[in-house]
Every structure is written in structure tokens, then in C-alpha cells.
Amino acid sequence: MKNNEVLRVEDLKKYFPVRQGLAGLFSSRKTEYVRAVDGVSFTVREGENLGFVGESGCGKTTMGRVILRLTEPTSGRIYCEGIDITSLNRRELKEQRRRMQMIFQDPHGSLNPRRTVNEILRQSIRIHKLVDGKAEEDSLIKETLENVGLAPADEFWNRYPILLSGGQRQRVGVARVLILRPKLVIADEPISMLDVSVRIGVLELLLAMRDEFGISLVYITHDLATARYICDRIAIMYLGKVVEMGPTEVIYSKPLHPYTQALIAAVPVPDPTVKMQDLPIKGYVPVTGTDTSTCGFYERCPYAMKEHVGENPPLIEVEPDHYVACFKVK
């Protein structure tokens, strides 16, 4: 285990049983599962931003929650700075929570509407007993508010979330985790519900968190364009598996997996002189729980061949630090 690994995930799986209802009691069919996360492995190094990109249903949000043990994994191991957190009990886990935090998607729903800004931040301090005494708490809150760009702190001190703009609420969300000085932050679509003119500001804040506080970021999104802007490495997810992973510019300029190629081709470009490319794939994302003995992309893949049925392509390193799970790519 390298010393500068902030997060290591090994073969993480999260399966949700599909409720059979009353009929299930009498049928002899095996319980079916939704394989939300189906064997994901990766590492995040110190000071690195790793992006997870995929469409809805690919499992990226579930994966983020499982890593923080907001939902328990079905199997697999999660190591935070070398410590295996999958087997910790509640008390130990609470201590670990200081090091791994989350920023949520909905600026409106992620703040308790009945708490003021300073009360929200104070809760973080008190749960982990970061400092002693109210004066110390106040000064830490003030400093953190200024760190996230909510200055002067006095203006925001007693405000309820309803009086904050979307961007300001997300900044409070960032402050709430920043105050703990975590090593790793998982950001689940942090800007998708914000106005476009405000998004870059929040992204810059996330980048500043890395530069000034050494916080590594796992950035979960469906938006390829903003992921490119903020992430050093990108992992593309499809049906619970990572199908391609590598440095950002490599993935965007030389995508190898057919799904990645389709994704990049599908994203509209803010340049009206560029014509829309034809999409090489067809159809819609199949419902999970179907046949998993074959590559999940088989039905939509333009390069699908009969020989590919019955086996799942493993994730292999085809170039230094560039991984692909595809039979076509050798």
C-alpha cells in the first residue's frame, strides 16, 4: 500500500434485492438483485481529483454512498489512508468520518431549513469536539466561512438557508465538511442544480480546497464537460462497473471503450460551427438485473461480436495508467 493513497477501493459491490412481493414467497425462483455497484476497484492519491462519470442508473451515486458507509456494502473493501473502514464499528466509524466527507447535489435539501448557517457549522465542530469553548467555535466558524467565500461572515451568520442563493447554499455545504479538514471529499453532482453563471465559482472553490488544504476529491457527475475541468483522472461507469479509467486528457482525446466514445460524441459542444456527430450506438440503458454473464454494453455496442457473449471483459491496463474493460481493445 503506497503511503500517499488517500482512498483504496477493492472489488466493491452493492446489490439490492428486488422485492418479490407475496408471490415471491411461493415461487422457487432465486432472489433477483439490482447490481448497483458491481465490482469497482480504484485508488485516489493525495491531492488528486478523480471523476466518476456516467449516466443515471450507472451506480455512481450509490458507490459514493457506499464508500462513506452511508449504505453498507454487499462485499468488498474500503481503505482510507490505509485503515480498513469496512469492518469498523459505529464508534470507530464516527472517528473516521472526520477524514471522509460528502458534498450533496441539492443545495436546497442538503441544509436543515430550521438551522442558521452558524448553527449548521457548529454542529460539525461539536460532533467531533474540534475545539473547546464557544469563542473558539465562533472563530473557527468565521474562518471557515471566509475560506469558502462567504464573507463578511457576519452577513451570513444568522441566515436561514431559505435566504441564501443556490451557490451560497452549496458553499455552506462545502464549509460544513471543510471545517473537519477531511482528507477525502466525495462530491455528488455538486453543481448540477446551480445556475450556470455560478457553477464555475463553486468548482473553483473545490479546486481551492485541494490546493490550500490538500483535500482529494472524488467528483461524481454525468456532466463530462465540467468533469474535464476539475478532474485529474476520470473513470467512466456503466451498469455498476468501471469500463474505462485514466488521465483526463487521455480519456477525452483518445477514448478506447465504445461507450466512452459514444458519451463524448453525444455531448453537445458550445460551438455552433461544429456539427453534431452521429451516435455510434443505439437504444437505451437496459434495466439492471438482466443477464450479467456478458459485457453489459453488448446490446448497444457497434462492435459487438458473437464471441463476446458469456464472458465479462476485465479491466486491464492497456497503456500506463489507462484501463479499459473491452474485448475489442487488446
Provide the 8-state DSSP code for 31: P
The answer to whether residue 154 forms part of the interface with another protein (CB under 8 A) is no
- Nearest Cα neighbor of 68 from 100, 95, 99, 106 is 100
| Distance in Å, CB of 321 to another protein, minimum | 18
The answer to whether residue 324 forms part of the interface with another protein (CB under 8 A) is no
The answer to whether residue 76 forms part of the interface with another protein (CB under 8 A) is no
Alpha helices (runs of H) in the chain, residue ranges in sequence order: 22-26, 60-67, 90-96, 117-128, 134-147, 153-157, 166-178, 196-213, 224-230, 248-253, 258-266
For another protein, the closer of residues 34 and 198 by Cβ is: 198
Q: Which of 145, 177, 178, 220 binds another protein (CB under 8 A)?
A: 177
| Distance in Å, CB of 77 to another protein, minimum | 20
Contacts of 154-161 with CB under 8 Å at 24 or more apart are 156/117, 157/116, 157/117, 157/118, 158/116, 158/117, 158/118, 159/116, 159/117, 160/113, 160/114, 160/115, 160/116, 161/108, 161/111, 161/112, 161/113, 161/115, 161/117
Q: Are strands 184-188 and 216-221 parallel, antiparallel or unpaired?
A: parallel
Q: Which of 26, 28, 72, 284 binds another protein (CB under 8 A)?
A: 284
How far apart CA 109 and CA 313 sit, in angstroms, is 39
For another protein, the closer of residues 114 and 306 by Cβ is: 114
The answer to whether residue 274 forms part of the interface with another protein (CB under 8 A) is yes
For another protein, the closer of residues 98 and 159 by Cβ is: 98
- Nearest Cα neighbor of 81 from 10, 11, 2, 12 is 2
| Distance in Å, CB of 151 to another protein, minimum | 12
Q: Which of 21, 133, 268, 320 binds another protein (CB under 8 A)?
A: 268
The answer to whether residue 197 forms part of the interface with another protein (CB under 8 A) is yes
The answer to whether residue 267 forms part of the interface with another protein (CB under 8 A) is yes
Q: At what angle do helices 166-178 and 117-128 cross, to 10 degrees?
A: 20
The answer to whether residue 272 forms part of the interface with another protein (CB under 8 A) is yes
For another protein, the closer of residues 70 and 316 by Cβ is: 70
Give the count of residues interacting with another protein (CB under 8 A): 66
Q: Which of 92, 136, 154, 195 binds another protein (CB under 8 A)?
A: 195
C-alpha to C-alpha distances, 221 to 5, 111, 231, 236, 277, nearest whole angstrom: 22, 21, 11, 10, 23
3-class DSSP state for residue 299?
Answer: helix
For another protein, the closer of residues 20 and 112 by Cβ is: 112
- Subset of residues 17 to 56 that bind another protein, contact rule: CB under 8 A: 55-56
| Distance in Å, CB of 263 to another protein, minimum | 6
Non-local CB neighbours of 171 within 8 Å, separated by 6+ positions: 148, 149, 150, 202, 205
| Distance in Å, CB of 30 to another protein, minimum | 24
| Distance in Å, CB of 330 to another protein, minimum | 26
For residue 23, report the phi and psi dihedrals to the nearest 5 degrees: -65, -30
- Subset of residues 95 to 134 that bind another protein, contact rule: CB under 8 A: 97-98, 101-102, 104-106, 109-115, 123-124, 127-128
Q: Which residues bind another protein (CB under 8 A)?
A: 55-56, 68, 70, 94, 97-98, 101-102, 104-106, 109-115, 123-124, 127-128, 165-168, 173, 176-177, 180, 195-201, 203-204, 222, 224-226, 228-229, 249, 252, 262-274, 276, 279, 281, 284-285
